[in-house]
Structure 1
Amino acid sequence: MVTIPSAGVESLVIYTPDGAMAGAPPITTWARDNSDAISQVMASDYLADSVSGQFHNLGSALLDRFMTTGSDYSQSVSVGSVGQSIASSTQSPQSDINLTVQTASGVKVDIEIQSGNGTLGVTIHSSGTLTGTERNALAGLADGFQKAIDGLSVQPPTLDLSGLMQYDPSVLSSVNMQFKLAGNTLFGVSGNFSANNSARSVSLTDWAGTMNLKVDTSQSALWGSGAQRSAAIASYLKQFDNANTQGHGNAAFMGLFKDAFTQLNSNVGTASQAATPWLGQPEQAMLTGLGDFTASISDAGDTVGTQANTFSYQVSQSTSTDGDAVSQVQQSHLKASYREVLSSSAYDDVVVDDDASSTVKLAMEKGVLIHASLTQSSTQSTRNSEYVDGKLVSDVTTPWNMSASTDLLRKLQSER
């Protein structure tokens, strides 16, 4: 039996296949009163269709709150449709940012931002009462926190962590940020950043690969001048570019690695000679002027035919002191494979394995430099497997070795 409504009868309600009323405006639900400053920022952000839009100005707003109060806070806003549960209204990937700040007095402050499945939420929790000085120090991180969020939430991500490292260590003892930001099917980034009075570190993974960096900031006696440090950083950045070119790595991801290295090694503080009072400017100039570090980067890689394109690079610096002697060792290791197309019917599968090291040794006796040397070595192996019409026609491994020693003491004496 079919009934046809006559004129003047109210139209039938139409529902979409997922149970929502067609054409109905979304339903917005707030967890608490939304008249405060943070809620106003969330009200501008929560309908954005990207993580960068949902987190816009939100990190800075959370820390700006410490200018007036140190109390705990939470808020969330959810969006649903008529006839449909909020949880199923918007099936979007989950994104989380957690910032944990420890004060020198021992109070821990946790800040969390979450988005996903139609909900945007924030929380602030403190383990104890904050002083006015501590609240001002937390508020001072607002711009740096927001810049870090803005960089990580774009696609592809960028790094801007400098603002999170500019705090008074007599007030704040550590800053740690964990992040997992969703993107589309190609993009998304996760990782961790931490800084305290003895070390800084970054670990990051996205679709292009994984990187890990850690810088020791506890040996201030080894730090050089600003100019020396800048020159050392520039030298390392050039070394990274050379390795990336040699191993056919991902240029954009290497750029992210270079940014992380530069930021972790910059603005570390003032050098102290308490540990090595004999280390004067001429001796200091023989070292890099940087704190010790370990760093690694590896591309996610892909496969071209039967050849796996891979790129893995590690670099480090370690310095040891023994009385009036200092030894500083720099090391690097590159391992990569890639396919180089020679013509429409020929290609070359290349495998590179490269080790390099450099050691500076200094020794003093009764305030006089008696030994200064530089030892360098490099071992490289390159395998070229050439194919024509899919058949191997040449398979050659080329080894290369280099070692050299320089008497820096004689060089220094000749320059005086």
Structure 2
Amino acid sequence: MNPITAIIRTTPTYMPAATAPPGIAVTAATSAAASSEVSIGQSPPSADIGIYNAKGALGNGQVRYVWEQDGIDKLSLNMYSAIQASSTASRFQGLGAALLEQLATNGGQRIAQSGLAVDSGSATEPTLLGLQQARLREFATDRVTFTLNTASGATVSLGLFNSDRGLAVDAEVLGGELTASELKGLASMAESFQSAVNGLAQEPPSLKLGALLKLDPTLFTGLHFEAQLQTTSGARQTFALQMDEHTRSLELQAPSGNVKMNFDTQGGVLLGSEAQRQAAVSNYLSQFDAAQQRGNGDEQLMTLFKDAFRQLNSVDDATLRPADHDSWSNRTSRLLLSGMADFNASLTTPEQRTNPMRPDEVDSFAYNVSQTTARKGTAANLSLQQDQQSTLKAAWHESLNPWVELRLNLDSESQDYRYHEVRDEASSSTRIGFVNNVLVEATATQQASQQERVRTYQKAELQSDVTTSASAEQSRDLLDTLEKLLAQDRQARRLGLASSLEQQLQALRSLWLLQANPALIDA
């Protein structure tokens, strides 16, 4: 490891050599602008030894780091090491966990630490340093902020900030004090928070939200997590996650495209059994794969989309349910539902005009999918309708020769290609109704249509223009089927036998869940 020289603004104090951690030499300065100089390494670097600058590149001269607080705690030691790194991922590695752990350890007392890069000969006047440290946070190239609302009414706020001028962190508790249980719960989230930061900072990004989404409702009522990062190419990438007891939203804007999702459990009344929800999630994931393949979508971006969908649905493993959620009428009313929270989600990629000879041919991918549920009436006289929809609009160029990369230009010799345009729509709708606690309606309708237009060019001349389409629609009355299954279930319970209703319904769910392929909608 290359040594770092760090100037820490503080009141000069005497520190015996025996109290310093191994490998860190601490000396007190005696100038009017008192500071302490900390060198990581076996000995302080001499003036003629090249050391890492703020971005990790070797400079011609010595770079000092002015530290906001004097300290050799775990967090500061992490920062002393991280500030040498050249990438954002390396600079943030372990930093979020260390900050969260230290905040929990010190009882929620405010933390503010930064390492500001200054030229070797620069003055370190306190007022100027304060302004520069503030600007380090305000104008950070990379930032991660995390806000956590507690059940006791306090708010936890954290921030990580990085730029070519240095590295900074903040943490504080606002509006109250954390209870012992909340402090313990906060510490337990450190690794999950760090894992989420690591996933977003890597290239390409990944979503590793994990236990960060599994908030204990007796300790925490919501969170807000944002990240604004610069990729190695200089492009911007942003991420935002917000969730409370019943709603959650996620948005990722990356150079390759955008992912957006919003979920609403309507107070938990829509949530079915774990098996029911897993079947619906699995069906959606297969629809997402089919859309990516059919529309020639970005595979890595679709992986992010699927990961987000899977992880945000996993929140409902622990979501609170209403007091009467498992009553017979409520369980029966959800038989034809997905069991998932209502949602809307989209994946889009930037439009590209890759053919200068025909700029009207735009490469694109836009996929939208949603679920909405309407409830009317009381438990005894109740009607529900759940609608699921998806749309896919995509277009792309494809080389006629799979072994030759397509490089379109104004030369007709480059114009050997197919131009695909896909337009797909799908929907499903289920209805279930009760009158005086008697099941009187149970219907399901599935519809799907697909259309693809393919134009083939050779040496810029149109050779063919072919459009293919397919569609299917199926409506079913499921009242008799459900009445028989419910009667069998009641009989099994009277005899003390295990219920098989869930397994029997599982085999039928393909009759009412969303299906975008017309060929898979049974006639």
TM-score after normalising by structure 2: 0.71
Instruction: Give SS of 2:120's match.
Output: coil
Instruction: Give SS of 1:105's match.
Output: coil
Q: Retained in 1: the 8 A contact 2:241–2:250?
A: yes
Alignment of 1:15-26 (within 5 A): 23-26=60-63
Report the CA distance between 1:385 and its aligned residue. 1.8
Task: Please say which of residues 312-321 and 296-305 is displaced more in the overlay.
Answer: 296-305
Aligned to 1:328: 386
Aligned to 2:343: 293
Alignment of 1:1-400 (within 5 A): 23-65=60-102, 66-83=104-121, 94-130=141-177, 131-185=179-233, 188-268=236-316, 269=318, 271-272=321-322, 274=324, 277-279=327-329, 281=331, 283-305=333-355, 306=358, 307-323=361-377, 324-343=382-401, 346-400=416-470
Q: Structure 1 residues 23 and 280 mapped into 2: Cα distance closer, same or farther (>3 Å)?
A: closer
- The amino acid of 2:444's aligned partner reads L
Using the alignment, how far apart are the partners of 1:25 and 1:200 within structure 2?
48
Using the alignment, how far apart are the partners of 1:289 and 1:219 within structure 2?
13
Q: Structure 1 residues 337 and 23 mapped into 2: Cα distance closer, same or farther (>3 Å)?
A: closer
Report the CA distance between 1:145 and its aligned residue. 0.9
Report the CA distance between 1:197 and its aligned residue. 0.8
Using the alignment, how far apart are the partners of 2:201 and 2:247 within structure 1?
25
Q: Structure 1 residues 145 and 79 mapped into 2: Cα distance closer, same or farther (>3 Å)?
A: same
Q: Structure 1 residues 206 and 63 mapped into 2: Cα distance closer, same or farther (>3 Å)?
A: same
Report the CA distance between 1:227 and its aligned residue. 1.8
Report the CA distance between 1:93 and its aligned residue. 7.5
Q: Retained in 2: the 8 A contact 1:247–1:334?
A: yes
- The amino acid of 1:40's aligned partner reads L
Using the alignment, how far apart are the partners of 1:245 and 1:219 within structure 2?
36
Using the alignment, how far apart are the partners of 2:287 and 2:306 within structure 1?
10
Q: Structure 1 residues 54 and 410 mapped into 2: Cα distance closer, same or farther (>3 Å)?
A: same
Q: Retained in 2: the 8 A contact 1:352–1:380?
A: yes
Q: Structure 1 residues 410 and 346 mapped into 2: Cα distance closer, same or farther (>3 Å)?
A: farther
Report the CA distance between 1:44 and its aligned residue. 1.8
Q: Structure 1 residues 180 and 281 mapped into 2: Cα distance closer, same or farther (>3 Å)?
A: same
Using the alignment, how far apart are the partners of 1:102 and 1:278 within structure 2?
35
Report the CA distance between 1:273 and its aligned residue. 6.3
Question: Any stretches of 5+ residues in structure 1 without a counterpart?
Answer: 1-12, 16-20
Report the CA distance between 1:69 and its aligned residue. 1.7
Instruction: Give CA-to-partner distance per residue, 1:328-383, whole Å, 9 cap, x none.
Output: 11010111111222247642211111111100100112222111000111233322
Instruction: Give SS of 1:304's match.
Output: coil
Q: Are 1:403 and 2:482 matched, yes or no?
A: no
Q: Structure 1 residues 273 and 172 mapped into 2: Cα distance closer, same or farther (>3 Å)?
A: closer
Instruction: Give SS of 1:300's match.
Output: strand
Q: Retained in 1: the 8 A contact 2:329–2:437?
A: no
Using the alignment, how far apart are the partners of 1:76 and 1:52 within structure 2?
17
Using the alignment, how far apart are the partners of 1:22 and 1:197 within structure 2?
50
Instruction: Give SS of 2:212's match.
Output: helix
Instruction: Give SS of 1:197's match.
Output: coil
Using the alignment, how far apart are the partners of 2:416 and 2:477 within structure 1?
48
Instruction: Give SS of 1:179's match.
Output: strand
Report the CA distance between 1:188 and its aligned residue. 4.8
Task: Please say which of residues 261-270 and 327-336 is displaced more in the overlay.
Answer: 261-270
Q: Structure 1 residues 384 and 368 mapped into 2: Cα distance closer, same or farther (>3 Å)?
A: same
Q: Retained in 2: the 8 A contact 1:337–1:351?
A: yes
Instruction: Give CA-to-partner distance per residue, 1:216-250, whole Å, 9 cap, x none.
Output: 13442221221221221111110000011111000
Q: Structure 1 residues 22 and 326 mapped into 2: Cα distance closer, same or farther (>3 Å)?
A: closer
Q: Structure 1 residues 144 and 244 mapped into 2: Cα distance closer, same or farther (>3 Å)?
A: same
Report the CA distance between 1:288 and its aligned residue. 0.9
Instruction: Give SS of 1:222's match.
Output: coil
Task: Please say which of residues 304-313 and 406-415 is displaced more in the overlay.
Answer: 406-415
Q: Structure 1 residues 276 and 325 mapped into 2: Cα distance closer, same or farther (>3 Å)?
A: farther
- The amino acid of 1:294's aligned partner reads N
Using the alignment, how far apart are the partners of 2:218 and 2:268 within structure 1?
16
* Larger proportion of strand: 1
- Superposition RMSD in Å: 2.8
- The amino acid of 1:385's aligned partner reads R
- The amino acid of 1:71's aligned partner reads Q
Using the alignment, how far apart are the partners of 1:412 and 1:124 within structure 2?
55
- The amino acid of 1:115's aligned partner reads N
Using the alignment, how far apart are the partners of 1:379 and 1:23 within structure 2?
65
Report the CA distance between 1:315 and its aligned residue. 0.3
- The amino acid of 1:163's aligned partner reads A
